C-alpha cells in the first residue's frame, strides 16, 4: 500500500508551520498526540481525556530553502537523511513516522515546512 492511499479514511485536524534551521526541528508533540476532552474547575486537573494521535501527515516545503529529514529517530545531517527542496512534499503514513520526523535545513538559510496532520 502506498502512503497516499493511507489518507482515504483520514480527516485533517491541524496545520502548523515549522521553521527549520541548523538545530533539529520536529513536529509539536502536543499536536501530534492530539489529546482532547476533559474539564477543569481552574484548580482541579483534567478529569478525563481522549487521545486521537496523528495517523498521517503531509510535510510541504514553503519557500526556496530545502531540508534534510529522517523518520527513524536518528539525527539528520548532511550525510544522513532524505532531502526535500522547494515545493516538494513528503507524505507520512503511520503514527510512528509522524512522531519520529526530524528535520534540519539543507542550505545556508532557514526553511519553512507546512505540516498538515490527519487522524482516523
pLDDT tens digits along 56-93: 899 999 989 999 999 999 999 999 999 999 999 999 98
What is the per-residue pLDDT for 96?
92
Predicted confidence at residue 56, as pLDDT, reads: 87
Residue reference for cell 526541528? 25
Smallest CA-to-CA distance from 102 within 68, 79, 57 is with: 68
Is CATH 2.60.120 correct for 4-119? yes
The per-residue pLDDT for range 6-62, each reduced to its tens digit, is 667 778 889 999 999 999 999 998 888 887 655 555 555 555 566 778 888 999 999
CA proximity to 95, closest of 119, 114, 115, 74: 119
The residue assigned the cell 478529569 is 47
Domains of the chain, residue spans: 4-119
pTM of the entire predicted model? 0.82
d(Cα 100, Cα 89) in Å, to the nearest integer?
17
Amino acid at each position: 500500500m502506498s502512503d497516499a492511499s493511507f489518507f482515504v479514511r483520514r480527516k485533517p485536524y491541524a496545520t502548523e508551520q515549522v521553521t527549520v534551521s541548523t538545530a533539529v526541528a520536529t513536529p509539536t508533540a502536543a499536536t501530534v498526540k492530539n489529546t482532547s476532552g476533559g474539564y477543569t474547575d481552574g484548580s482541579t486537573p483534567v478529569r478525563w481525556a481522549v487521545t486521537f494521535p496523528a495517523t498521517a501527515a503531509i510535510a510541504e516545503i514553503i519557500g526556496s530553502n530545502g531540508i534534510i529529514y529522517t523518520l527513524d529517530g536518528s539525527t539528520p545531517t548532511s550525510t544522513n537523511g532524505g532531502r526535500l527542496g522547494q515545493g516538494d512534499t513528503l507524505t507520512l503514513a503511520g503514527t510512528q513516522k509522524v512522531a519520529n520526523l526530524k528535520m534540519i535545513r539543507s542550505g545556508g538559510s532557514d526553511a519553512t515546512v507546512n505540516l498538515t496532520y490527519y487522524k482516523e
